[in-house]
């Protein structure tokens, strides 16, 4: 392989004795080029193996034809699906995807905003690392539309597309209550993010409506040791330990909700090891409908997150903003409804598979 320099318009022009300009227009299928020269030019371009230079094109056109996607952890199946959907839909519209992974690090999150700014992406979809995060305001300020994914960032008045966790949590909790649960708890990850807050609120609302009260806070924060390996978004072992504590403490709830299906794995184990039967002795409900959830025994009742819908809606909203068909419209907050998938973990007196 002769590290041959890339073929440019100039090469084609020179080889054919025409101007660069003509070549450009011929290849772009503009009129004002005779059919004859156009054919010659295309043939020569093919012969030489010409590949347009997207960078040069973007520079002059002022559009990167690229979308930025900022994700905390691709190993979260929900985000993995988001990545697929977004890449696919963006590609359909001619956009390439620049992916940044923040691993819940505020520092990396800040740098991600900077990187997107430098590349001048046409728009950005971001799952913000919450807490601080004012740096994200820089994109809209620079005229780069952005929409928050899954995690809302009310302080910044940005477009948002995510899950209606409040409603889903309320619904799932009520389902458990209707199944006979009178004492419940919710295990949540220990991150100051909107999904956690919304699930907690929905959970509490269901308890209140049912007239269930408790002396202790029924929402329990699971101290999570983020894994350096990035193999898991959540560590079942953390929930396992906590569930063991609850079991040992003696005041066992009738039902346990968990903020994600991974926690359910830990809860299942703790209960099983204590000789308790999930679905009979304790109902369990989760979030995510992760691939394994249907195959646990008993099958896990869980909230299916509409990842594809969210990814699609987010891209579409972003493209709309990019095209500027909407003036400086007010920020849109879109929360997609979920489906509760009922399986044996919430059906007392059945307790086998699915």
Partner DNA sequence: GTGAAAGCGCTAACAA
Partner DNA sequence: TTGTTAGCGCTTTCAC
**Residues in contact with a second copy by the rule CB under 8 A:** 1, 3-4, 6, 51-56, 58-59, 64, 66, 69, 73-75, 77, 80-81, 83-85, 87-88, 91, 96-101, 103, 114-115, 117-120, 140-143, 229-232, 236, 262, 265-266, 268-269, 272-273, 290-292, 294-297, 307-308, 328, 353
CB of 266 to a second copy, least distance (A): 8
CB of 323 to DNA, least distance (A): 16
Which of 39, 43, 48, 59 forms a contact with DNA (CB under 7 A)? Answer: 59
Tell me the CA distances in angstroms from 308 to 77, 104, 194, 217, 338, one per residue in order.
Answer: 12, 23, 20, 34, 12
Residue placing its CB nearer to a second copy in the complex, 107 or 209:
107
> Residue 66: what are its φ and ψ, rounded to 5°?
-140, 140
Chosen from DNA, a second copy, none, partner binding at 83 (C-beta under 5 to 8 Å by type): a second copy
Residue placing its CB nearer to a second copy in the complex, 121 or 219:
121
Chosen from DNA, a second copy, none, partner binding at 10 (C-beta under 5 to 8 Å by type): DNA
Chosen from DNA, a second copy, none, partner binding at 114 (C-beta under 5 to 8 Å by type): a second copy
Residue placing its CB nearer to a second copy in the complex, 103 or 316:
103
- Pairwise CA distance, residues 204 & 218, whole Å: 8
Burial of 260: CB neighbours in 10 Å, binned 0-12, 13-18, 19+: buried
3-class secondary structure, 176: helix
H/E stretch holding 266? helix 261-273
**Of residues 4-33, which lie at the interface with DNA (CB under 7 A)?**
5-6, 8-10, 17-22, 24-25, 27-28, 31-33
Residue placing its CB nearer to DNA in the complex, 33 or 181:
33
Let me know the angle formed at the C-alpha of 326 by 331 and 167, rounded to the nearest 5 degrees. Answer: 35
- Pairwise CA distance, residues 160 & 127, whole Å: 10
Chosen from DNA, a second copy, none, partner binding at 61 (C-beta under 5 to 8 Å by type): DNA
Structure tokens at 298: 């008993």
34: contact with DNA by CB under 7 A: yes
Chosen from DNA, a second copy, none, partner binding at 46 (C-beta under 5 to 8 Å by type): none
Residue 347 CB neighbours (<10 A): 17
Instruction: Say if residues 354 and 344 touch (Cβ distance below 8 Å).
Output: yes
| Segment interacting with DNA, rule: CB under 7 A, options 36-44, 108-116, 300-308, 319-327 | 36-44
Let me know the angle formed at the C-alpha of 227 by 282 and 155, rounded to the nearest 5 degrees. Answer: 85
- Pairwise CA distance, residues 343 & 354, whole Å: 6
Chosen from a second copy, DNA, none, partner binding at 101 (C-beta under 5 to 8 Å by type): a second copy
Strand partners, 180: none
Chosen from DNA, a second copy, none, partner binding at 8 (C-beta under 5 to 8 Å by type): DNA
3-class secondary structure, 245: helix
Peptide bond into 343 cis (omega under 30): no
Residue placing its CB nearer to DNA in the complex, 121 or 186:
121
Strand order of the β-sheet with 184-189 is 219-222, 184-189, 255-258, 283-287, 301-304, 339-341
Chosen from DNA, a second copy, none, partner binding at 214 (C-beta under 5 to 8 Å by type): none
Sequence-distant (≥ 6) Cβ neighbours of residue 251 within 8 angstroms? 183
Which of 39, 43, 61, 230 forms a contact with DNA (CB under 7 A)? Answer: 61
3-class secondary structure, 303: strand
Binding site for DNA (CB under 7 A): 5-6, 8-10, 17-22, 24-25, 27-28, 31-34, 36-38, 50, 52-53, 56-57, 59-62
């Amino acid at each position: 392989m002769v590290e041959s320099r890339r073929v440019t318009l100039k090469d084609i022009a020179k080889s054919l004795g025409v101007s660069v300009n003509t070549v450009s227009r011929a290849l772009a299928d503009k009129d004002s080029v005779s059919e004859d020269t156009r054919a010659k030019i295309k043939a020569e371009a093919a012969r030489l193996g010409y590949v347009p230079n997207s960078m040069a094109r973007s520079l002059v056109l002022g559009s990167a034809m690229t979308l930025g996607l900022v994700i905390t952890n691709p190993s979260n199946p929900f985000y993995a699906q988001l990545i697929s959907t977004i890449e696919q839909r963006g590609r359909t519209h001619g956009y390439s995807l620049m992916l940044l992974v923040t691993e819940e690090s505020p520092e990396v999150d800040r740098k991600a905003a900077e990187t997107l700014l430098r590349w001048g992406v046409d728009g950005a979809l971001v799952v913000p690392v919450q807490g601080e995060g004012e740096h994200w305001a820089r994109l809209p300020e620079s005229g780069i539309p952005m929409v928050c994914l899954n995690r809302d960032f009310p302080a910044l008045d940005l477009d948002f597309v995510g899950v209606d966790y409040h409603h889903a949590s309320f619904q799932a909790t009520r389902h458990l209550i209707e199944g006979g649960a009178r004492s419940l708890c919710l295990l949540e990850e220990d991150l100051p993010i909107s999904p956690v807050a919304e699930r907690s609120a929905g959970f509490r609302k269901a308890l209140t409506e049912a007239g269930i009260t408790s002396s202790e806070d029924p929402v329990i924060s699971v101290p999570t040791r983020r894994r350096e390996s990035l193999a898991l978004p959540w560590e079942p072992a953390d929930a396992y330990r906590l569930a063991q504590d609850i079991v040992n403490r003696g005041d066992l709830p009738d039902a346990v909700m968990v903020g994600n299906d991974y926690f359910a794995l830990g809860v299942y184990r703790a209960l099983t090891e204590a000789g308790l039967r999930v679905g009979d002795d304790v109902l369990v409900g989760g979030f995510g409908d992760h691939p394994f959830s249907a195959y646990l025994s008993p099958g896990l009742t869980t909230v299916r997150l509409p990842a594809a819908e969210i990814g699609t809606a987010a891209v579409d909203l972003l493209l709309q903003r990019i095209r500027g068909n909407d003036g400086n419209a007010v920020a849109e907050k879109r929360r997609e409804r979920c489906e509760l998938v009922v399986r044996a973990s919430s059906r007392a007196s059945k307790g086998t598979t699915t």
